Structure 1
Amino acid sequence: MNPTQQLHNLGQSIWLDNITRELLTSGTLARYIRDLHVTGLTSNPTIFEHAIGHSTAYDAAILSQLGKGKSDVSLFFELALEDLSRAADLFRSTFDASAGVDGWVSLEVSPLLAHDAANTIKEAAELHARANRSNLFIKIPGTTEGLEAIEASIFAGVPVNVTLLFSCEQYLAAAEAYLRGIERRIEAGLDPNVGSVASLFISRWDVAVKDTVSPQSRNRLGIAVAMQTYQAYCALLASPRWQKLAAAGASAQRVLWASTGTKDPQASDTVYVEALAAPRTVNTIPEKTLLAFADHGQVKKKLPTNGGDADAVLADFSRQGIAIDVLAERLQREGAEAFVASWRQLLQAIGTKKSHLAQVCTS
């Protein structure tokens, strides 16, 4: 049995943290679905910036839109929705067979809206309607303003992937927004089955502290935060509040491990995938890490539902001067800023391609 099959059998969904037009047209994504048990896909502005800005795969599509007066933003969302709609169709049989638990793809609202609840709500609804795919999540960051948009979007029936979560406290705030949205739907007589995942970012913790903690502490902080969050997640699923919603037909907002590629060249290239094996969760894995895990990864144990040694590990980091809550807020802020930077680079790449292709056409 290969490693990805083992994770699948454990009850963890493997999603691919990547999207390019080549993945779709070459049949590579279809092969990952067939051979590596990939059951979903995530995207973000950085992924699309690399996909569009560093290849010619989108040039024909951009060329076909020249002269139609579309803004760079509008053109981007058209390109992204083309890719993600195709990917969603590839995963549709998985989505149907799992009754909507699996088989999702994700598209993020503009990162410029991270602190604009009203326009996030508006754009989330518009993008989901344009996609016209039941298995497409709209990604909304778990900022203070994002939480308001998450509750409103869930209430409106828009499936949400909550992104840029870094701590157990941030996860619980996102879960609360989801629960309130579902409870409001039940009160209004609406179907409570609206899909959602809550994405906890892992490796960025360890990158942030690598130069300030002891060598034996390296690559342990992100996993400890994940263990603490998984304990809270399992407790929430066992709570009377959630059991009541589940009995009414709601689906659980699953925890999703994000940023699970190894950043430390001295560490195993599968360290986070192996450490975060857990039932009823999702791991969205960078393509390079997915292939490495499929080749030589091992599933040795699953995360404990009681948090294991997370509290002791986090206490040790505190003794080394790491203020976990402060760092979590910083990481969320920096994550939002990084997506804004990628977003601007992406739009600049599209603008540059439009100008270049227009010159080619007139030469």
Structure 2
Amino acid sequence: MKATQQLHDLGQSLWLDNITRDLLNSGTLQRYIDDLSVTGLTSNPTIFEHAISKSSSYDTDVSRLNTDGKAGEELFFELALQDLTRAADLFAGAHERTSGVDGWVSLELSPLLAYDTAKSVEAAKRLHDKANRPNLFIKIPGTKEGVPAIEKSIADGVPINVTLLFSLDQYKASAEAYLRGLEQRLAAGLSLDVRSVASVFLSRWDGATMDKVPETLKNKLGIAIGQQVYKAYRDMLESDRWQRLENAGARPQRLLFASTGTKDPKASDVLYINALAAPNTINTIPEKTLIAFGDHGTVSGAIPRSGGDFEQVLHDFRSAGIDLDKLAADLQSGGAKAFEESWGQLLKAIDEKSKVLQSTT
């Protein structure tokens, strides 16, 4: 049995961290669903920038949308929703079989809204309504300004993938926002069946500390952070506050391990997949890592309920001079900035493609 199937049987969902029209048109995504137990996918501006700039598969639609007067962000979201609604339809079976637990795709808001609560809420509702798919998440970053947008969007009934979480405190803030949004719905007599996932980015911790710690600590911090957050996730699910909501019809905000491609060429290419097996969670995996895990990954057990030895590992990093709180803040702000830069490159790529296509017609 392939390791991907073993993870699925353990109760962890494998989602592909990629979306391109070529993946859809070639049948490759369907093959990953059939052969590698993939039950969802995630996207971000960097993924779409690469997809649109490096493929001719979008040319016909770019030309048509240009003719309709669309450009920039408006044109991008038309293209993205075409791809993501097709992918959502491929995962509809998983969504139905699991009663909405699995089978999701995700669309990121414009990174330019990362620090604008009101506009994030408005854009999240508008894009989710436009997609018209029950299994499409809107991604909102768990920044200080994003947290109230998450709460309001959940209260409005919009499924949210909370992105750009790096630390325990950031995770807890997103979980609190989810709970508050559900509590608003409960007070209003509305259905509590509004889904969410909390995406905690892991490998970037190791990338940021690679040259600052002894060899014995390299590639251990991201896994320890994942274990720490997993314990908090389990604690939350056992809390009286959550159980009251669950009894009223709510479903958990699932923990999602993100940024799980190995950065260090000297380390195992499936390091974070092997180490972060855990039931009732998600691991969203770069395409290259997914294929590698299907080929030579192993499942030797799950993260213990206690999270394992993360406290000792975090202590060792602090002793080595790593300010974990500051690094978490820096990683989140740096991640938001990187997505903003990718967004600019994406819009530039669309503009350049539009000009080339217009010049040939």
Q: Per-residue displacement from partner, 1:241-293 (whole Å, max 9, x unpaired)?
A: 11111111101000000000001000000000000000010000000000000
The match for 1:101 is 101
The match for 1:205 is 205
Query: Is the partner of 1:57 in helix, strand or coil?
Result: coil
The match for 2:168 is 168
Q: Per-residue displacement from partner, 1:77-101 (whole Å, max 9, x unpaired)?
A: 0000000000000001110110000
- Verify: 1:307 aligned to 2:307, yes or no: yes
Between the aligned partners of 1:175 and 1:27, the Cα distance in structure 2 is: 36
CA RMSD of aligned residues (A): 0.6
Deviation of the 1:66 alpha carbon: 2.1
The match for 2:218 is 218
TM-score computed with the length of structure 1 as normaliser? 0.99
Alignment gaps of 5+ in structure 1: none
The match for 1:125 is 125
Q: Which amino acid aligns with 1:15?
A: W
Q: Which amino acid aligns with 1:260?
A: T
Alignment of 1:118-267 (within 5 A): 118-267=118-267
Between the aligned partners of 1:187 and 1:50, the Cα distance in structure 2 is: 44
Between the aligned partners of 1:37 and 1:14, the Cα distance in structure 2 is: 7
The match for 2:358 is 358
- Verify: 1:57 aligned to 2:51, yes or no: no
Deviation of the 1:296 alpha carbon: 0.3
Runs of 4+ with deviation above 2 angstroms: none
The match for 2:92 is 92
Between the aligned partners of 2:134 and 2:270, the Cα distance in structure 1 is: 32
Q: Per-residue displacement from partner, 1:56-93 (whole Å, max 9, x unpaired)?
A: 11111101122322121100000000000000000011
Query: Is the partner of 1:66 in helix, strand or coil?
Result: helix
Between the aligned partners of 1:231 and 1:258, the Cα distance in structure 2 is: 17
Query: Is the partner of 2:257 in helix, strand or coil?
Result: strand
Alignment of 1:62-73 (within 5 A): 62-73=62-73
Query: Is the partner of 2:30 in helix, strand or coil?
Result: helix
The match for 2:23 is 23
- Verify: 1:7 aligned to 2:4, yes or no: no
Q: Which amino acid aligns with 1:95?
A: H
The match for 2:32 is 32
Between the aligned partners of 1:305 and 1:323, the Cα distance in structure 2 is: 26
- Asked if the contact 2:63/2:354 (under 8 Å) is kept, the reply is yes
Q: Percent identity at matched positions? A: 61
Between the aligned partners of 2:163 and 2:135, the Cα distance in structure 1 is: 17
Query: Is the partner of 1:277 in helix, strand or coil?
Result: coil
Greater shift in the superposed pair: 302-311 or 111-120: 302-311
Q: Which amino acid aligns with 2:216?
A: Q
Greater shift in the superposed pair: 257-266 or 61-70: 61-70
- Asked if the contact 2:166/2:201 (under 8 Å) is kept, the reply is yes
Q: Which amino acid aligns with 1:215?
A: E
Between the aligned partners of 1:262 and 1:22, the Cα distance in structure 2 is: 25
Deviation of the 1:54 alpha carbon: 1.4
Between the aligned partners of 1:217 and 1:56, the Cα distance in structure 2 is: 44
Deviation of the 1:102 alpha carbon: 0.1
For these two proteins, the number of residue pairs brought into alignment is 361
- Asked if the contact 2:270/2:289 (under 8 Å) is kept, the reply is yes
Q: Which amino acid aligns with 2:353?
A: K
Q: Which amino acid aligns with 2:297?
A: G
Query: Is the partner of 2:301 in helix, strand or coil?
Result: coil
- Asked if the contact 2:65/2:71 (under 8 Å) is kept, the reply is no
Q: Which amino acid aligns with 1:245?
A: L
Q: Which amino acid aligns with 1:188?
A: A
- Asked if the contact 2:72/2:351 (under 8 Å) is kept, the reply is yes
Query: Is the partner of 2:282 in helix, strand or coil?
Result: strand
The match for 2:280 is 280
The match for 1:324 is 324
- Asked if the contact 2:17/2:43 (under 8 Å) is kept, the reply is yes
TM-score computed with the length of structure 2 as normaliser? 0.99
Q: Which amino acid aligns with 2:324?
A: I
Query: Is the partner of 2:200 in helix, strand or coil?
Result: strand
Q: Which amino acid aligns with 2:343?
A: W
Query: Is the partner of 2:14 in helix, strand or coil?
Result: strand
Query: Is the partner of 1:191 in helix, strand or coil?
Result: coil
